[in-house]
Amino acid sequence: MTSHSESTYFTRRQALIGASGVAFGLAGCLGDDPQANSNPSGDDSSDSFTVFATMPAVWDFVRQVAGEHMDVIDLVPVGEHGHDWNPEPGTVRDLDEADGFVYLRDFSSWQDDAATQLREDGDIVVIEASQGIEFFDSPAEDDDEHWWMDPLECQTGVLNIAEGISEIDPEHADDYMANAESFNEELQALHEDFEAIVDQAALNSIVVATHDSFQWWNRRYGIDIYSPVGTSPDDAASPQDVQEIEELIEEFDIEHVLYDVGEPSPLAESLANEVGADILPLSPVETQIDGSPDIDPTVEMKPDWGYIDHFRQLNLPSISTALKSEEQ
């Protein structure tokens, strides 16, 4: 099982799409890109399996389960927001170079379309990481699909992935299940630490001034999450929305405005300035960044961060500060 502290962390593929916009040819690129190889053993055996993942959180789940037996590639380039990114024409055709395709249902239409087409072609194993996870009508949207923000729900997704890649490589099925169980222990510990922060908090409300991917925290931990933007990265806040948020900040004595590290965040800055609040980063684990978000040079991120890193480096510290947990 891969530890999150190991220097041999599998790195993600930074560019799958040619600059000209022409559909890329995956078969010719994988061998030339050192970031496409997620096998820490350095084994260059030609019989290695390749699995494509459709956004950063899923990519990390797959590589944690696959361990040394598979190359795991995130289709979303570094710096792109997983919810807003769309592949170039021809991408789905080229996915048949892989042995497996792991996706999230109802997250983005291209993923569902690709899964349907690949199943019809029957050449690779298609794995729905969300299988068996029930979406719910959150305060932000109906059928809120952001289950990976809940470390407990993630454990189901990880087991789904273990079963799926075992179909690709039955010989190492026991290893995949052992890796999944080990990683789920890390997710359980993460959940318990998150729960402890909320239990010790002086507040139970936060303001997120970018799109709202975080309502599964409301369901799991009881945090009230307010956003003037909504769930789409392309949504814009109206003056009335902003005024209502400003009133909530004053009513609840909120001292911080949070933002999604993967999005342009002028609203977060302007709102914080207007109410005299500080800004804090949150990650929905949908974007990998090499360096700092534009809004905040004090935050330093790495493109090979995994799910646990996003939570322990960004989310838990920010939630602790925003909810004034340290004051209890």
Q: Which domain holds residue 265?
A: 194-327
DSSP string, 248-277: HHHHHT--EEEEETTS--HHHHHHHHHHT-
Confidence (pTM): 0.85
Is residue 5 included in any domain, yes or no? Answer: no
231 and 161 assigned to the same domain: no
263 and 308 assigned to the same domain: yes
pLDDT at 100 (0 to 100): 97
Instruction: Please give the span between the terminal C-alpha atoms of the chain, in angstroms, as a whole number.
Output: 36
Question: What are 239's strand-pairing partners?
Answer: none
pLDDT at 91 (0 to 100): 72
Is residue 11 included in any domain, yes or no? Answer: no
Is residue 102 included in any domain, yes or no? Answer: yes
- 173-212 core/surface letters (b: 16 or more CB in 10 A; e: else): eebbeebbebbbebbeebbeebeebbeebebebbbbbbbb
Is residue 59 included in any domain, yes or no? Answer: yes
Domain final residue, candidates 130, 154, 189: 189
The torsion angles phi and psi of 71, rounded to 5 degrees, stand at -90, 125
pLDDT at 14 (0 to 100): 30
89 and 34 assigned to the same domain: yes
* Region for 21 from its dihedrals, namely left if φ exceeds 0, alpha if ψ lies in -120 to 50, beta otherwise: left
pLDDT at 122 (0 to 100): 86
Q: Identify the CA nearest to 101 among candidates 59, 151, 48, 47.
A: 59
| CATH code of 264's domain | 3.40.50.1980
pLDDT at 226 (0 to 100): 94
pLDDT at 34 (0 to 100): 29
126 and 142 assigned to the same domain: yes
125 and 227 assigned to the same domain: no
Element (H, E) at 127: strand 125-128
Domain final residue, candidates 166, 189, 212: 189
213 and 157 assigned to the same domain: no
36 and 170 assigned to the same domain: yes
Is residue 2 included in any domain, yes or no? Answer: no
pLDDT at 235 (0 to 100): 59
Is residue 6 included in any domain, yes or no? Answer: no
| pLDDT tens, per residue, the chain with 328 residues | 433 333 222 222 332 322 222 223 333 333 333 234 444 334 444 468 999 999 999 999 999 999 999 999 999 999 998 888 888 877 767 787 899 999 999 999 899 999 999 999 888 999 999 999 999 999 888 999 999 999 999 999 999 999 999 999 999 999 999 999 999 999 999 999 999 999 999 999 999 998 889 999 999 999 999 998 764 445 567 888 889 999 999 999 999 999 999 987 888 999 999 999 999 999 999 999 999 998 889 999 999 999 999 999 999 999 999 999 975 4
> How many folded domains does the chain comprise?
2
